[in-house]
Amino acid sequence: MTKVITYGTYDLFHYGHQRLLERAKELGDYLIVGVTADDFDKQRGKINVKQSLMERIESVRATGLADEIIIEEYEGQKIDDIKRYDVDVFTVGSDWVGYFDYLKDYCDVVYLERTKGVSSTEIRSKNQSISLGLVGGGNILKKYYNESEFVNGIDVDLVFINNENEKDFYQNENLMLAESYDELLNVVDAVVIASHPSKHYMQIKKALNRGKHVLCESPFALHEDECSELEHLAIDNNLILMDSIKTAYSTAYYRLLLLIKGGNIGDVYSIDATCTSLREVKDNSWNSITFWGPTALLPIFQILGVDYKNKTINSLMLEDKNNFDLFTKIDFRYDNAVASIKVANSVKSEGELIISGSKGYAYVPAPWWKTDYFELRYENLEENKKYFYQLDGEGIRYELVAFIKSIELGKNNSYVSFNVSKAICKIMEDFENNDLNIIKKH
Question: Do residues 106 and 170 share a domain?
Answer: no
pLDDT digit string, tens, across residues 394-423: 889 889 988 988 898 788 889 999 999 999
Question: Do residues 264 and 400 share a domain?
Answer: yes
Distance (Å, whole) CA 295 – CA 290: 9
The answer to whether residues 389 and 251 touch, using CB atoms and an 8 Å cutoff, is: yes
CATH number for the domain that contains residue 107 = 3.40.50.620
> What is the mean predicted confidence (pLDDT) over 78-96?
92
Which residue among 225, 247, 269 closes a domain?
Answer: 247
Q: Is omega for the bond preceding 219 within 30 degrees of 0, making it cis?
A: yes
pLDDT digit string, tens, across residues 194-226: 999 999 999 999 999 999 999 999 999 999 999
Q: Determine, yes or no, domain membership for 86.
A: yes
Question: Do residues 232 and 374 share a domain?
Answer: no
89-93, strands of its sheet edge to edge: 68-72, 30-36, 3-8, 89-93, 108-112
Q: Determine, yes or no, domain membership for 284.
A: yes
Q: What is the pLDDT of residue 439?
A: 65
Query: Does pLDDT of 46 surpass 50?
Result: no
Q: Determine, yes or no, domain membership for 253.
A: no
Q: Determine, yes or no, domain membership for 429.
A: yes
Question: Do residues 292 and 437 share a domain?
Answer: yes
> What is the mean predicted confidence (pLDDT) over 171-190?
89
Enclosing domain of residue 173: 130-247
Question: Do residues 204 and 233 share a domain?
Answer: yes
Q: Determine, yes or no, domain membership for 342.
A: yes
Q: For residue 331, what are the CA distances in angstroms to 204, 309, 327? A: 30, 11, 14
Average pLDDT over the chain reads 88
Q: Is omega for the bond preceding 365 within 30 degrees of 0, making it cis?
A: no
Report which of 100, 93, 97, 154 is spatially closest to residue 119, judged by C-alpha positions. 93
Question: Do residues 187 and 283 share a domain?
Answer: no
Q: What is the dihedral of CA 357, 359, 363, 364, to 10 degrees?
A: -70
Which residue among 93, 122, 151 closes a domain?
Answer: 122
Structural domains of the chain, count: 3
Distance (Å, whole) CA 349 – CA 366: 10
Q: Determine, yes or no, domain membership for 252.
A: no
Cβ atoms < 10 Å from Cβ of 249: 27
Q: Determine, yes or no, domain membership for 255.
A: no
Can you point out the beta strands (E) in 239-352?
Answer: 241-244, 268-276, 310-317, 325-333, 338-344
Can you list the alpha helix ranges (DSSP code H) found in 304-395? none
pLDDT digit string, tens, across residues 25-45: 999 999 999 998 865 544 444
Question: Do residues 278 and 386 share a domain?
Answer: yes
Q: Determine, yes or no, domain membership for 160.
A: yes
Q: How far apart are the first and last CA of the chain?
A: 61
pLDDT digit string, tens, across residues 273-303: 999 998 777 767 789 999 999 999 999 999 9
Q: What share of residues in the chain are helix, strand, coil (percent, to 5)?
A: 40, 25, 35
Which residue among 75, 103, 122 closes a domain?
Answer: 122
Question: Do residues 33 and 165 share a domain?
Answer: no
Distance (Å, whole) CA 401 – CA 393: 12
Q: CA 386: distance to chain centroid? A: 21
Task: Identify which has the larger pLDDT, 173 or 17.
Answer: 17
Can you list the alpha helix ranges (DSSP code H) found in 190-322? 197-209, 224-236, 251-261, 288-303
Question: Do residues 96 and 159 share a domain?
Answer: no
Question: Do residues 33 and 106 share a domain?
Answer: yes
**pTM value > 0.85:** no
Three-class secondary structure of residue 204 per DSSP: helix
